[in-house]
Structure formats: C-alpha cells, structure tokens
Amino acid sequence: MSSKSASFGPSWLQSAPMLRLLLPLVLGIWVQSVVALPAKIWLVVGVLGGIGLVVAQCKPLAWQYRWYWVKGILLQLLLVVLGMAVYTQQVVHTQPAILLQPGINTLRVQLDEPPVQRDKTYKVVATLQYHAKAQKAVEASGKIILYFKKDSALMRLLPVLQPGSIGWVQTNVQPIANSGNPGAFDYIAWCHRQGIYYQSFLSAQAITLLPSTPTYHPTTVLWSLRLWVLKQLQHYLPDSEERAVAAALLIGYRHFLDRELVQAYSNVGVVHIIAISGLHLGMIYGLLYFLLAPLERTPSWRPFKYIVMLLVIGLFTAIAGGMPSIARSAVMFSMLILGKWFNRNAPMYNNLAASAFLLLLWQPFNLWDVGFQLSYAAVLGIVVFQSLVLQGVIRVIPWQPAAQLVAVTLSAQVFTTPISWYHFHQFPLYFLLANCWVVPLSGLLLYGLMAVLLFAPFPLLASWLGGLMGKGIAWMNAGIVAIYQWPHAVWGGILLNSWQVAFIFVAIVGIMVALFQRRTIGIWVSLVALLGFAILRSVNFWTKEQQQKLIVYQVPQQTAIDIIRGRQCQFMGASVYWQAGYLRNFHIEPSRLWHRIQTVQVLDTQLIAPKIITLSHTTILWLNRPIANKTVINTQPPHIIILSQNPNISLQEIIQQWPCRQFVADASNPLWKINQWKKEAEALHLRLHSIPESGAFVVNL
C-alpha cells in the first residue's frame, strides 16, 4: 500500500490542522441555522471562552502541558461561536432593509444581469435601491426577480437592458413562493440565500430607464467581459446548441442550454463538464504552468510567473461567476501557487480544509450549496482513494494515462454518490465510460475555445477554429445523447433522507479505517451503520405502504391530481403531466418519488360529467370543464370538491346539489373566476383553497 493511502488516520489528522478548525466552524453555522440563538447568548459564550483561553495561556507551562485539552475545548468553542456569528451576519446582510408589501409598488432598481429568455418571459435579477412611499423615496435593499412579458415593446428595449442599467418600475410585487408540491425544490430557501425576497411580472411599459452613466463597479465590469465572450462565441459558433455548450464550458453561462440536453449530461454522469468546476480551472492551471515554465529559470522573472498565474485564475473565477465549485478550486490552486512560489508544499488535506474554511467565512450559505458539497466530496475522494484504486486499475489497464483517468473517476464517486442520491435521486450507470472520453475531449475543446477568443482580432483564423470547435461540441453532444438512450442508463427512484446519508458516510469512514489502519473496529462500525440504514429504509417503505392521500398539484394553468393508495396512485389531469417529459419530471415526479409510488393509473382526463371517487371513507367530487350533466347519483355528500377547467357554476348552485364545506380551485381556472369563488365562499362560510395563490392542496385521507 502506498504511503499516500496509508497516511489516513491520526497522522492524516495531524497533517491537516485546518480540519480541526473547519469542523467546529461548520458546526456553529449549522447550529445557528437550526436554532437561531439570539446574538446576546453566543456573544456572551464567546467572550467567556476568549477570557478563559487568555487565562489558560497565562498559566505555567507545566499546567498548560497537563491541562492541554482545556485550551483545545475553549478554542473549539470560539470557532463554533465564530460560525454562528458569520451565519447571523450573512442572514442580516441578505435580508432587505425594508419589507415591501404585496401589491403595487414603485421601485428604483439596478439590473444585476442581462435578461434571460424563458418560454413566455424574459427574466432578470435586479437590486432594490429606493422605494417610493408617500411621495418620498426611501432607501431599500435586497433583490427582486423581474419577469418581463414578451412583446414588441420589450424587443425594442432589450438592447439597453444591460447589467448596471437603472430605472423606476411600478409593478405588482409578490413574495417569493414555493409550489407547495410534495418533494419539490425549496425555491424560497434558495432565493433567500441569494438575497432575493420578491418577484414581479410586468410589461416593458412598466419600467422607465434613467440616463445611463459610465460605471466601473466590479460586477458591471465582469459582466461586460462575460458579454464580450458571449458575443465572440455568437459570432464564431453560429449553431445555437453548440454555442450554448461552449458558453457553459468556457465561462459557466448555462442560460442558453436546452433542458433535454442538460438532462442527458446529468443522466450519464458528466454534468460537471457544463458546470464550471475544478476540472476547468485545473486545465487552465496546467496550461499556464506549461506556458510560463521558462520564467522559472530566471530568478528575477520567477515572481512574475506566479503573479500572472494568480491574476489569471482570479479573473477566470470572477468571470465564471464565482460559483462555490470553482471558488473552492481557485482558493486551492492559489494556495498551491503560493506554496510553489515560496517553496513550501502543504498537504492536500490541509489545503482542502483551508479553502473550505475561507469560503465558509466569506459565504456561510455555501454549506447548503450542492456544487460546494459535490466539489469537496469529489476532491476528498480522489485524495484519499486514488492511489489505492490505481493499484487495482493498473493491473487491468496497463496504459498509465488511461488507468489514471479511471482511478480518478472511480475515486471521486466514493463521497459524491451519497450526496447525488440525496439531491438528485439517481445514479448514472455508464458514468465511467462517459467520463473516460468526455473529460479529455472537453479539455481539448476548452483550450480550443480559449484560442478562439485569443484570435478574435483575426476573423479568418477565429472562424476556422470556431467551426472546428463547433464540430467537436456537436460530436460530444451526440455521444452523450447516444449513451443517455442506452437501456438502463440511469438507476432512478433513489430516495434517501439525511439520516440515511449520514449512516452511509459512517459506513464509508469505517471502511477507510479498516483499509488504511487495518483495524477491525472499522468493519464493525460499517456493519452497524449499514444496519441502521437498512432499518430506517424498511420503516420508510412500511410507512408508505399505509398512506392514503389526495394531492392537487400546483402546475401552470393545468390540472394535475394524484389519489394515492399505498404505493399506487390514480392520476387525473392534463395529458402533458402523465406523459414523460420535462413538465412531469419537474412538477409531479418529485412527489411520487417522495411517496415511493410504484404504479400509476391514468383516469379519463376528458371528463365532462362530474366524477365521484371514494377513498378511506372520504368522498371526492371532481367537477371538470363546463358541466353538461349536473345530475350524479351519490348517496353521500362529498367531503371535498375539486373545481377544474373553469366550470360555469357558482358555489351556491354546487352546495344545493352536493352539500360540501371544502372546495379546491386548481390552476386551470382563471384567477378572476377563483376570486369570485373566494368572495362567495366567504359569504357562505365555506373553505376554498386556491392552488395558484396557496400552492398545492395535500390532505391525508
């Protein structure tokens, strides 16, 4: 066994002192996010801990040697308090200075990015500057998402809607909201961590741009560079799909990517190719190291080499948006460059922990970022297991470069797989094959795209390179789509909770102890962890077998209803939501995964007459479309009535024929009709759940 692998254990912990600083910081951030202790409490604890540490430091050396663990505990306590402090500060920083009330507001905003085209709108994130209230402009802060309606007026305005543009908007402001669909992505939490608390749908006439003045704010300058890159790609790569992949590969700009293509990259396990990560920065680092190697031989030019490398890596990271995955790599490569500059090489474990420590101090919300988690998990897996895996792979694949690539790919999966299962609920079965040819190809494409930008002043050469890169990207896309279409390309339907993931990681650590330290306790720890995992999973399956639920989903302007019995469900609604595709995968499948649905029966989605469904002593009446036949035989009044497809009937008429207290109006009804029903429900003392306003309707039956 190599010395690199054997270094895991107590000696590994000693070689990574930053890890002993990182863990209590992470604990403090997590505790404060869960408990939200008042600042007074953790400030007092921090002050007392600091005083205790100073007192301990003033004690005689003999006392310090005997009671060394006291200083250790106090230092760990201070780091926990530091984690709580940076989390609290970040929460305060991202929250808006004033809370806007839902409804019509007059706001002065500054655009943070260029408008991004969507199906029916253009989306742009803007920073709030002022709020006009009672004929007075009050300073505001925070961010808002503006959705501009596509029309001719907006097309004329688009060229001047650029990052840094300032204007007044008068629009109906709404708080960021979740769909409420079970198992859906927590969009509110994600937006709040970005400082976004509001959204608004408006037309181009609702914004009045102010005269623009040249600004040199760093964000504006970086966006100018990104837009220049996008302009060059548009000029030299005419195909839109190839250009979208090039923009994602080169600067991490993913707004142009086709949804189905992204799904294909994800399902074959190479989505990191189109998501800026350490792979891209490593290629740039290697290229810089090769090009600037001659400067190493001249002592007077040696500092210039490392300064250029630091500046280029920092600039690339900023242009790519400073996402957590590339920020981690930028910090690590910067430490590596500084180490080479001053002839000091720190262990990779320590560099990894130090970069995480700095990034969490700067942005504690990174702890919940999937890219941050996967990035560190991948590098840690490579550092710990690569040499061990390589010893086995080299026996099968004698060619060193190929064996090295396979070993890196397999090692990275050790810690990333449980995280991917938790977040994405799937595992790409052909990930090894896809990575072994896509990673080298993407490296060549990245170098080629940088050459396109370098030779942009020479159109003939840049056009030739752009055409060549376009063909390479098309070939890469075709290969990914082909693998995606192979049978059993994805093992899906994987549902794990946080406790199950924790048990998996404990089992992995136990295996590491058994492999690297040859201690049988590691095997027993792994077996106990796997037993705990199996028990939790079995209990979850048994619980799902007993469930009976009605779910009326929040979907755009359509009907989607699941009636769940155990692990089976009946679906009623629009055909686009029972046919395979993006809409079903995004809106419906997370719920079915969460409820572990095994089979789905599709009921008639073209009903005209009312339909009665009885489940667990609960009667559900579905009124779908204008009612042609208002007579239905039913011996028992319904408990719930679902209104879909704008039935031309009042609540008064309904309760005369079908007495009921609970109504649900889904998103297929127009808002004006739902508002009419709401007023009528209040007058008749009935309950009406508006799906577009209140989210999905979920009830246990």
Instruction: Give residue-wise pLDDT tens across range 191-200.
Output: 998 889 999 9
- Strand partners for 174: 199
* CA 201/CA 623 separation, integer angstroms: 30
**Which residues have a Cβ under 8 Å from the Cβ of 186 and sit 6 or more positions away?**
178
Number of helices (H), then strands (E), belonging to the chain: the values are: 26, 20
Instruction: Give the pair of three-digit tokens for residue 606.
Output: 């073209």
* CA 386/CA 409 separation, integer angstroms: 9
Residue 61 DSSP SS3? helix
φ and ψ at 666, to 5 degrees? Answer: -85, 180
Q: Tens digits of per-residue pLDDT, 611-624?
A: 788 877 888 988 88
Pick the closest to residue 164 from 122, 111, 228, 116 (CA basis). Answer: 111
Instruction: Give the pair of three-digit tokens for residue 148.
Output: 């501009």
Ranking 46-55, 238-247, 519-528, 632-641 by mean pLDDT, the lowest is 632-641
CB 356, CB 22: distance < 8 Å: yes
- Specify the pLDDT at position 339: 79
Q: What are the sequence ranges of the domains in the chain?
A: 3-94, 103-215, 221-363+431-491, 369-429, 498-545, 548-700
- 113 secondary structure, DSSP code: S
* CA 104/CA 609 separation, integer angstroms: 40
* CA 505/CA 687 separation, integer angstroms: 47
CA distance readout (Å), 514 to 236, 381, 509 = 55, 16, 9
Distance of CA 257 to the CA centre of its chain: 16
Q: Which residue has the higher pLDDT, 45 or 607?
A: 45
CB 394, CB 400: distance < 8 Å: yes
As a whole number of Å, the CA-based R_g of the chain is 29
Residue 588 scores a pLDDT above 90 = yes
| Burial class of residue 530 in the structure, from the number of CB atoms within 10 Å of its CB (0-12 exposed, 13-18 middle, 19+ buried) | middle
User: 608: pLDDT confidence band, cut at 50, 70 and 90?
Assistant: low
**Which residues have a Cβ under 8 Å from the Cβ of 465 and sit 6 or more positions away?**
236, 448, 451, 452, 455
Instruction: Give the pair of three-digit tokens for residue 212.
Output: 């623009």
- Specify the pLDDT at position 95: 83
Query: Of the CATH numbers 1.10.3720.10, 3.90.1310.10, 1.20.1440.230, 2.40.50.140, which one belongs to the domain with range 103-215?
Result: 2.40.50.140
Distance of CA 307 to the CA centre of its chain: 33
* CA 383/CA 407 separation, integer angstroms: 11
Residue 662 DSSP SS3? strand
Q: Tens digits of per-residue pLDDT, 360-406?
A: 999 999 999 888 898 889 888 988 898 889 888 888 888 888 888 89
- Specify the pLDDT at position 6: 40
User: 334: pLDDT confidence band, cut at 50, 70 and 90?
Assistant: confident
**Which residues have a Cβ under 8 Å from the Cβ of 303 and sit 6 or more positions away?**
341
User: 258: pLDDT confidence band, cut at 50, 70 and 90?
Assistant: confident
**Maximum distance among all alpha carbons in the chain?**
95
Residue 491 scores a pLDDT above 80 = yes
| End-to-end CA gap in the chain | 58
The one-letter code for the residue type at 464 is W
* CA 105/CA 73 separation, integer angstroms: 52
- Specify the pLDDT at position 554: 95
140-168 average pLDDT score? 89
Q: Tens digits of per-residue pLDDT, 79-121?
A: 999 999 999 999 988 887 677 888 888 899 999 888 988 878 9
> Mean pLDDT over all residues of the chain?
86
The one-letter code for the residue type at 205 is Q
User: 297: pLDDT confidence band, cut at 50, 70 and 90?
Assistant: confident
**Which residues have a Cβ under 8 Å from the Cβ of 141 and sit 6 or more positions away?**
96, 97, 98, 127, 128
Pick the closest to residue 479 from 542, 435, 515, 415 (CA basis). Answer: 435
**Which residues have a Cβ under 8 Å from the Cβ of 238 and sit 6 or more positions away?**
470
User: 626: pLDDT confidence band, cut at 50, 70 and 90?
Assistant: low
Q: Tens digits of per-residue pLDDT, 449-464?
A: 999 999 999 999 999 9
* CA 449/CA 453 separation, integer angstroms: 7
**Which residues have a Cβ under 8 Å from the Cβ of 579 and sit 6 or more positions away?**
none
* CA 587/CA 568 separation, integer angstroms: 18
Ranking 10-24, 309-323, 509-523, 533-547 by mean pLDDT, the lowest is 10-24
Residue 133 DSSP SS3? strand
618-624 and 640-644: which strand pairing?
Answer: parallel
* CA 66/CA 688 separation, integer angstroms: 69
Residue 515 scores a pLDDT above 50 = yes
Pick the closest to residue 274 from 510, 446, 73, 128 (CA basis). Answer: 446
Q: Tens digits of per-residue pLDDT, 339-362?
A: 788 777 767 778 888 888 998 999
* CA 445/CA 250 separation, integer angstroms: 9
Pick the closest to residue 251 from 271, 270, 225 (CA basis). Answer: 225
User: 628: pLDDT confidence band, cut at 50, 70 and 90?
Assistant: very low
CB 514, CB 506: distance < 8 Å: no
Residue 502 scores a pLDDT above 70 = yes
539-548 average pLDDT score? 94
Q: Tens digits of per-residue pLDDT, 173-183?
A: 999 988 889 99
- Specify the pLDDT at position 3: 38
CA atoms within 13 A on the CB side of 214: 0
Query: Percent of the chain at pLDDT above 90?
Result: 38
Residue 5 scores a pLDDT above 50 = no
Query: Percent of the chain at pLDDT above 70?
Result: 93
